[in-house]
Structure 1
Amino acid sequence: MSGFATTKEACDDAQVPQVWRDTCAHLLIPLNECRKKEHYLPWKCEHERHVYELCQYKDYKKRVKEAEASRQ
């Protein structure tokens, strides 16, 4: 997405499960740190959550566009 790469070591240190290690993992790490710090209160970390979910959405749209292009 934005060109950021999260290393395997960074994901291992942050205990990111393998299934969540995608193009948005670099945003998931600070989101999870914020969630832990704020005791998972739903109104906390809204900015981090929004940024992560936007990345996920853009990645989904990109994959849909690529799939449509490959069908033609």
Structure 2
Amino acid sequence: MADFKEPEMKVTAQEMAEARLPLRYRDYCAHMLIPLNKCRHRTMYMPWKCEEERHAYEKCEYEDFMRRSKMLAKIKQDQ
């Protein structure tokens, strides 16, 4: 498991609480979700308005999922 480097949290728990993020979204991509939610609020959730922010957040979530999947496969392989 030493092969996998944990990503660093780019926002603090205090910043996530101030942004009123639900607990299930307080992960390694929270730093992308905060500006996305601000954009969504500012544009009244019009889906075509915040495409860049949404794409960046979804890419972050995908990369985090792939990292965790590889880590799980490595753990299962070592057993």
State the TM-score, normalizing by the size of structure 2. 0.85
SS state of the match for residue 43, structure 1? coil
Deviations 1:15-47 (A, max 9, x none): 001110000000000000000000000101000
Number of residue pairs matched by the alignment: 72
TM-superposed CA distance for 1:7, in Å, is: 0.5
Task: Name the counterpart of 1:48.
Answer: 53
* CA distance, structure 1, for counterparts of residue 39 and residue 7 of structure 2: 21
Q: Give, in angstroms, the shift of residue 3 of structure 1.
A: 3.9
Q: Which residue is 1:11 aligned to? A: 16
Give % identity: 44
| Larger Rg belongs to | 2
The unaligned stretches of length 5 or more in structure 1 are none
Provide the TM-score with structure 1 as the length reference.
0.93
5+ residue gaps, structure 2, are 1-5
Considering only aligned residues, what root-mean-square deviation do their CA atoms show, in Å? 1.4
